[in-house]
Structure 1
Amino acid sequence: MNATITATDSLWRQEVDDAPVSLSAAGDLVAIAGAAGPAWVLDLGTGEVVGELALDGGSLRASLSPDAQHVAVTGPGGYALWRRSDGRVVTAATGLWSQAAAWADGRVAVASGRYARVLDADGNELWATEAAASTVTDVKWLRGGRRLAVAAYGAVRCHERHQASPVATYPYVGSHLALAVSPNDRWICSGNQDASIHIWRSRDGDELTMAGYPEKVSRLGFDDTGRWLAADGAPDLTVWDFSGKGPNGTAPRLLNAHETITALAWRPGTLGHLASGGADGTVALWRVTNGRPEARQRPVRTFELSDGVAALAWAGPQVLVTAARDGSIEAHRLPDRNQL
């Protein structure tokens, strides 16, 4: 049975004057990137703006550092870093496509054209990878920030710190759009332009492909346990079970609530709770351990935003932050950290 979250579950609502494209939450802050280039940092408790920055030419992603002291914003023409202590903004107008950023241990890796560049929190370059075959589309840290996975056309390459050349290469002929790495670093997964998910076992490169999606796979992510991988690419959200020897020979769980999936975010913790958003403005909350493979599930709860869902981010297990395409940002409190 579906339920609807009531207005009393809303902590605050804030309006920004651009269409949001990305949300990030950490500590007591929320960061929002707008399509035209502006970005805002909000106080999680009140929704008040505590910082602003902007990129000429537009923004693609905002990424808060885990300690909530820094924000990286990436876009089609470069990247920018915001520092909480004094509001300082460092902008790198490189003219290069910068799709992604990932923080680890006070450092941030940013995609910059055909390179991934690792910066300190103030924007000073520490090292960079050699040029990839094409534009870097995503970056993810492994081994507690000691190894960097870099996605570009034809392969995912892994680099040790301060080593431009890769120490491991995971080939797959195609355009990789997004990366997901399991929390135990056992699996590296890419969502692809050719409507597939490609999976490598990191220790030996053993691989398989989950093909047959009707659309490109551009959003995917593991839950905190590393057992469940959620992905778009179809009207049904697919959730693969990576327990045991992995998903080879298995079927996914199918979560049915949207015609077009525009966002997904795992709730922190080990309970297998997932939030998803659709172009129609519906946010759905799921317990993926319900049901069985190949059977369509319905959400535990749904609620509606004022416009299509642009992004979702959990700010701890009890607060879900939503961004609608019309610029409405809202924080929703769930009454129990273990229930939906």
Structure 2
Amino acid sequence: MAIAVNRDGSHAAAALGDGTLWMIDLAEAGAEPAVVPVHDGACLALARDIDGGGFLTGGDDGRLRRIAPGTGPVTLATAPGRWIEHIDSHPRARLRAYNAGKRVHRIGVDGQPDGPVLEHPSTVGGLAFAPGGQRLAVAHYGGVSLWWLKGAAEPVRLDWKGSHLGMLWHPEGTHLITLLQESGLHGWRLKDRAEMSMGGYPTKVRSVGWTTGARFLATGGADCAVCWPFTGGGPWDKRPLELAAGAADLITVVAPHPTSPFVAAGCGDGLVLLAALDGSPPAGVAPASGSAVTAMVWSGDGRHLLYGTEAGRLCHIALPERAGKRPG
């Protein structure tokens, strides 16, 4: 399951392995989601579209689709015989990007192709527009290809051995972090290509996110939420914060609050915690359900927390206003 909140914060969507999309109106507490078939097969990717209301989905049926509240799905592109596993969009660049195997395609707001197909040495493991919308980073085996969207015809290569299966830009565009097939992360400070490796995890890191002000990079994959400090240029020679330590199971998913200094953490047994960056004891917001938390997202205003479990359960927690300031 993948979960996203649209850019205007009105609706959340969850993409499921049975090819359906569940749409939730965040203004209607307790409302049942609208269930919409979008793919003939599994939904493999979900992202916010360029505009305020829409979502993009990719499937193993080789279709890129757009859906918005109150409208049916529209096919934007097809890749016969391929899976569309990674998608992103950027409102300032007015572009969408998606992969089909080793190739990345770009589509403008008018639904037409924008620029040549971007070729890569192996199947794409992740893609993301830079915060400013001028570059597109594509992860694959052996590192990252960093494309300028205007000008240069060849990418800048950031090399690191192994498979790179996801990525995250620093909010100011200064650093790029990738999730590795091995149990760890790798990153680059782009101004000088200084490299950073963040390891020591007992399992793969599948979830990362920036805390407010990008002071810390919060990560799952351990028995606590490991938060690497990024003040002063990066995490070199600095010990990470360890939040929500002592949970009965590993933390599988993290979601830093968008405006306040705490992190939501979902565990392998279904427990969901809120942990403040000051190290105070975490507050439980959902008990263990016996099924691992696999996806989690906040609304932009920080009033709604949504998470999904391995068993296919989708949960929506509307927090009181004071909870948007600190756990408690």
**Coarse TM-score class (shorter-chain normalised):** 0.7 to 0.9
Which residue of 2 is the match for residue 262 of structure 1?
Answer: 252
| TM-score, normalised by the number of residues in structure 1 | 0.83
Contact 1:132 1:152 in 2 (8 A): yes
Q: Which moved more, 1:201-210 or 1:215-224?
A: 215-224
Unaligned runs of 5+ in 1: 1-20, 292-297
Residue 4 (structure 2) aligned to one of 24, 46, 53: 24
Q: Is the 8 A contact 1:129 1:164 kept in 2?
A: no
Decide which of 11, 18, 21 is 1:36's aligned counterpart.
Answer: 18
Task: Tell me the distance in 1 between the aligned counterparts of 2:130 and 2:79.
Answer: 28
User: 1:128-277 maps to which residues of 2 (within 5 A)?
Assistant: 128-161=116-149, 165-255=153-243, 256=245, 257=247, 259-269=249-259, 271-277=260-266
Deviation at 1:248, TM superposition (A): 0.5
CA contact (8 A) 2:65 2:73 kept: no
Matches for 1:317-332 after TM superposition, within 5 Å: 317-332=302-317
Matching residue's letter, 1:231: T
Residues 1:303 and 2:286 aligned together: yes
Larger mean CA deviation between 259-268 and 48-57 belongs to 48-57
CA separation in 1, counterparts of 2:81 and 2:250?
32
Q: Distance in 2 between matches of 1:129 and 1:101?
A: 14
Query: For 2:282, what is the secondary structure of its paired residue?
Result: coil
Q: Contact between 2:132 and 2:173, CA under 8 Å: does it hold in 1?
A: no
Give the residue type in structure 2 aligned to 1:299. P
CA deviation string 1:105-163 (max 9, x = no partner): 14222222112222234643223543211111111111421111111111111112156
- The 3 A distance-change label for structure 1 pair 181 and 208 is same
Verify: 1:97 aligned to 2:87, yes or no. Answer: no
User: For structure 1, which segment, 123-132 or 138-147, has the greater mean C-alpha deviation from structure 2 after superposition?
Assistant: 123-132
SS of the residue aligned with 1:275?
strand
1:290 match: 279
Q: 1:162 to 1:186 in 2, by over 3 A?
A: closer
Q: SS at 1:323's partner residue?
A: strand
Please report how far the alpha carbon of residue 77 of structure 1 lies from its aligned counterpart in structure 2 after TM superposition.
Answer: 4.0
SS of equivalent residue, structure 1 residue 139: strand
Separation (CA, whole Å) in 2 of partners of 1:300 and 1:42: 26
Structure 1: distance between partners of 2:154 and 2:34: 39
Aligned to 1:5: none
1:303 corresponds to which letter in structure 2? Answer: A
Amino acid at match of 2:26: L
Say if 2:11 and 2:69, in contact at 8 Å, map to a contact too: no
**Structure 2 residues not aligned, in runs of 5+:** none
Q: Name the CA distance, whole Å, in 1 between partners of 2:20 and 2:302.
A: 28
Task: Give the whole-Å Cα distance in 2 for the aligned partners of 1:193 and 1:332.
Answer: 32
Cα distance in 2 between the residues matched to 1:30 and 1:202? 33
Distance in 1 (CA, whole Å) between partners of 2:34 and 2:171 is: 31
Q: Is 188-197 or 98-107 further displaced after alignment?
A: 98-107
Residue 75 (structure 1) aligned with residue 55 (structure 2): no
In terms of mean alpha carbon deviation, does 112-121 or 322-331 score higher?
A: 322-331
Q: Which amino acid aligns with 1:250?
A: K
Please give the per-residue CA displacement for 1:55-80, whole angstroms capped at 9, x wherever unaligned.
22311232123643221112344332
CA contact (8 A) 1:159 1:168 kept: yes
Give the TM-score normalised by structure 2.
Answer: 0.86
In structure 2, what is the Cα distance between the partners aligned to 1:83 and 1:318? 21
Q: Aligned residues: percent identity? A: 28
CA distance in 1, matches of 2:292, 2:179: 23
Larger mean Cα displacement after TM superposition, 22-31 or 206-215: 206-215
1:338 correspondence with 2:325: yes
> What is the distance in 1 between the residues matched to 2:73 and 2:307?
27
Distance across 1 between alignment mates of 2:237 and 2:87: 33
